[in-house]
């Protein structure tokens, strides 16, 4: 049977750390906690579960912190866990079976990350496979009987173990501050971070967050060639331009988005918002309808599911069409 280190980076998690560790403590052989500057009782609570507690000076870099935390682990595999994650009894039993049967050639085990969307998480899905268990020291193997080469791709196993994401508070202000810092000097984000920035803006960004992001995505819109990237750039720029009343940028961003095949709901919904702000309610209705029934969302499903129905309801109320206003109010409630 393999041995497992549970590895966490934490900061001010006194209200939920015990809940998390209580679930995992009997499944692992070592617990490593790296604290990035807690001012509450986080470290005192962690000390009830492990002596392996390390301080790390936070530098707005999660990768750096996780690399440091991984370096302190000593067991065969490393289980990467956040304090707001929970495992229930059924999945503990599955975890025990996995631990007993795990083959040494497996480098990464993915588990099903389940979002409790009613808690207003900054994610846009109910379930997603995520890498959670990593082999600490990876071996390299030669393969193929002729023209042999070293296998570089990891062996990944998709388990059916579910980890619940149950945050007590949102972290978007922290995330947006980091994104702003990373892009303020003209740096280009990786495609992964670029997509996460756009998605998080549409799920939890404030008007100010969109305006702060406008210059970065405006530059990206002229640079990117991949369709999905262009659509993300255009969507962010469309909303940021509407909020800042930059008509030239809005025209450019909307044109770029609508010129692509299957433009997303986020862009056409923003057109509805624009025309409603100009009191052109008939035009607003057309674009809200398009967002709800003729397009699909790219970044936040509410721009297809509930937001357009709210816009339709408001527009029809102002137009005096009580029947349609009631219809779309009911749909907004149903989809909300």
Band (pLDDT 50/70/90 cuts) for residue 47 is very high
Q: At 107, list the tokens.
A: 């480098």
- Beta strand 4-10 with 77-80 is parallel
Question: Does residue 240 contact residue 217 with C-beta atoms inside 8 Å?
Answer: yes
Phi, psi dihedral angles at 287 (to 5 degrees)? -75, -35
Indicate if the pLDDT at residue 335 is higher than 90.
no
Indicate if the pLDDT at residue 60 is higher than 70.
yes
Decide: residue 116, CB within 10 A, 0-12 exposed, 13-18 middle, 19+ buried: middle
pLDDT number for residue 61: 86
Spatial distance between the Cα atoms of 28 and 133, rounded to a whole number of angstroms: 11
Spatial distance between the Cα atoms of 171 and 105, rounded to a whole number of angstroms: 36
- The more confidently predicted of residues 336 and 33 is 33
Phi, psi dihedral angles at 207 (to 5 degrees)? -55, -40
Q: 321: which residues sit within 8 A by CB, 6+ positions away?
A: none
Phi-psi region of 311 (alpha: psi -120 to 50; beta: other; left: phi over 0): alpha
Spatial distance between the Cα atoms of 240 and 152, rounded to a whole number of angstroms: 42
Q: At 229, list the tokens.
A: 């990237």
Q: Which fold has domain 172-335?
A: 1.25.40
Phi, psi dihedral angles at 109 (to 5 degrees)? -110, 125
Spatial distance between the Cα atoms of 238 and 221, rounded to a whole number of angstroms: 11
User: Percentage of the chain surpassing pLDDT 70?
Assistant: 93
Residue 132 CB neighbours (<10 A): 20
Q: What is the rounded average pLDDT of the residues 209-236? A: 94
Residue 44 CB neighbours (<10 A): 12
Per-residue pLDDT tens over the stretch 173-208: 778 888 888 898 888 889 988 999 999 999 889 999
Spatial distance between the Cα atoms of 204 and 232, rounded to a whole number of angstroms: 15
C-alpha angle 220-287-330 in degrees, rounded to nearest 5:
120
Phi-psi region of 38 (alpha: psi -120 to 50; beta: other; left: phi over 0): beta
Q: Where do the structural domains in the chain lie, given as residue ranges?
A: 4-165, 172-335
Q: At 201, list the tokens.
A: 């803006």
Question: Does residue 10 contact residue 38 with C-beta atoms inside 8 Å?
Answer: yes
Q: Which of 158, 27, 157 is nearest to 99 (CA)?
A: 27
Per-residue pLDDT tens over the stretch 273-282: 999 999 999 9
Per-residue pLDDT tens over the stretch 95-130: 999 999 999 899 999 999 987 554 444 444 568 889
Q: Which fold has domain 4-165?
A: Spore Coat Polysaccharide Biosynthesis Protein SpsA; Chain A (3.90.550)
Q: 127: which residues sit within 8 A by CB, 6+ positions away?
A: 112, 113, 114, 115, 162
C-alpha angle 269-287-233 in degrees, rounded to nearest 5:
40
pLDDT number for residue 116: 52
Distances (CA, A) of 168 to 19, 50, 149, 317, 333: 12, 24, 48, 37, 25
Per-residue pLDDT tens over the stretch 209-221: 999 999 999 999 9
């Amino acid at each position: 049977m393999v041995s497992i280190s549970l590895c966490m980076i934490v900061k001010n998690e006194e209200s939920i750390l015990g809940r998390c560790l209580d679930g995992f403590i009997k499944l692992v052989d070592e617990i490593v906690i790296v604290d990035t500057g807690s001012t509450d009782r986080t470290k005192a609570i962690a000390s009830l579960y492990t002596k392996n507690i390390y301080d790390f000076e936070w530098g707005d870099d999660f990768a750096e912190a996780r690399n440091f935390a991984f370096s302190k682990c000593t067991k065969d595999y490393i289980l990467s866990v956040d304090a707001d994650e929970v495992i229930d009894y059924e999945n503990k039993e599955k975890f025990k079976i996995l631990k007993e049967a795990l083959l040494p050639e497996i480098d990464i085990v993915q588990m099903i990350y389940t979002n409790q969307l009613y808690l207003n998480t900054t994610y846009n899905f109910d379930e997603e496979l995520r890498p959670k268990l990593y082999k600490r020291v990876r071996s390299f193997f030669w393969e193929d009987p002729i023209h042999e080469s070293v296998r570089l791709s990891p062996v990944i196993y998709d388990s059916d173990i579910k980890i619940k994401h149950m945050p007590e508070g949102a972290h978007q202000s922290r995330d947006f501050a980091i994104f702003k810092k990373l892009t303020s000097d003209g740096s280009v984000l990786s495609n992964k971070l670029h997509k996460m920035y756009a998605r998080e803006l549409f799920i939890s960004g404030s008007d100010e967050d969109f305006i702060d992001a406008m210059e970065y995505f405006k530059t990206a819109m002229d640079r990117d060639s991949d369709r999905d990237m262009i659509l993300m750039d255009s969507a962010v720029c469309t909303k940021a331009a509407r909020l800042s009343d930059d008509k030239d940028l809005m025209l450019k961003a909307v044109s770029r988005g609508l010129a692509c095949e299957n433009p997303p709901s986020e862009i056409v919904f923003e057109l509805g918002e624009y025309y409603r702000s100009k009191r052109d309610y008939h035009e607003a209705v057309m674009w809200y309808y398009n967002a709800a029934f003729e397009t699909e969302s790219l970044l936040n499903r509410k721009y297809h599911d509930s937001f357009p129905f709210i816009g339709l309801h408001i527009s029809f109320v102002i137009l005096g069409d009580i029947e349609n206003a009631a219809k779309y109010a009911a749909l907004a409630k149903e989809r909300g």
